[in-house]
């Protein structure tokens, strides 16, 4: 069975979704850049080893990244899973775990990379918003896409309501992506894109809906 290490910075709601999913994947450890992260206690309660490495204790990003990478390597993971990890990882770290580093982002990439995605989606007036699971590359939020989920933006949506509905979809697609990876059903092809199982005749999401 393949092994993963999950990186978190806070409550770890996506981490919890992954633990609940009972994936064909051993969660070898949960690591945070903040010892106060509530998700660490949740992981320990589930019997998962934890570690905390405070980024503020290091002179710069490179030193923190190197220490974090060494800690991850102790668990010999096949995958390194970012689940609300709020630190930008440098090129050396990304290269060290190339092809193993996975992230979930709360937008339909390549739209709205970075922070405040839901606010920016509302300001842009998009009709469809969502979330993306992707491989991590040195260019932030631009790695090869594994799976996306889309929802309609409703007239009454504000930033909080939109974020909550997108988070529901994050909890659905992240376990699916990792299940595919654990079973070897998705891979990066020679063009740097993801080959994956896909049903034919998948339904379209149209927002607003067409007249009956």
Given 55, 105, 118, 129, which residue is catalytic? 105
Cis bond before residue 208 (omega within 30° of 0): yes
Cα atoms in the Cβ-side hemisphere of radius 13 Å centred on 161: 8
171 is an active site residue: no
Q: Is 21 helix (H, G, I), strand (E, B) or coil?
A: coil
Q: How far apart are CA 92 and CA 5, in angstroms?
A: 18
Which residues are CB-neighbours of 161 under 8 A, at least 6 positions away? Answer: 154
Dihedral angle, C-alpha 92, 60, 15, 35, nearest 10 ° = 150
Instruction: List active site positions.
Output: 105
């Amino acid at each position: 069975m393949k092994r993963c290490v999950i990186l978190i910075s806070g409550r770890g709601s996506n981490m919890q979704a992954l633990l609940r999913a009972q994936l064909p994947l051993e969660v070898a450890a949960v690591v945070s850049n903040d010892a106060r992260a509530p998700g660490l206690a949740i992981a320990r309660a589930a019997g998962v080893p934890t570690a905390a490495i405070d980024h503020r204790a290091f002179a710069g990003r490179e030193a923190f990244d190197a220490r974090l990478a060494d800690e991850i390597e102790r668990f010999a993971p096949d995958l390194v899973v970012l689940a609300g990890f709020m630190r930008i990882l440098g090129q050396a770290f990304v290269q060290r775990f190339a092809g193993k580093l996975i992230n979930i982002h709360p937008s339909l990439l390549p739209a709205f990379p970075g922070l405040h995605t839901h606010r920016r989606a509302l300001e842009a007036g998009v009709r469809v918003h969502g979330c993306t699971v992707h491989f991590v590359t040195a260019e932030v939020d631009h790695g090869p896409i594994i799976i996306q989920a889309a929802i309609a933006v409703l007239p009454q949506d504000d930033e909080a309501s939109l974020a909550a509905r997108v988070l529901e979809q994050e909890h659905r697609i992240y376990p699916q992506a990792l299940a595919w990876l654990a079973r070897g059903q998705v891979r990066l092809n020679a063009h740097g894109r993801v080959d994956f199982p896909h049903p034919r005749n998948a339904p379209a999401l149209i927002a607003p809906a067409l007249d009956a």
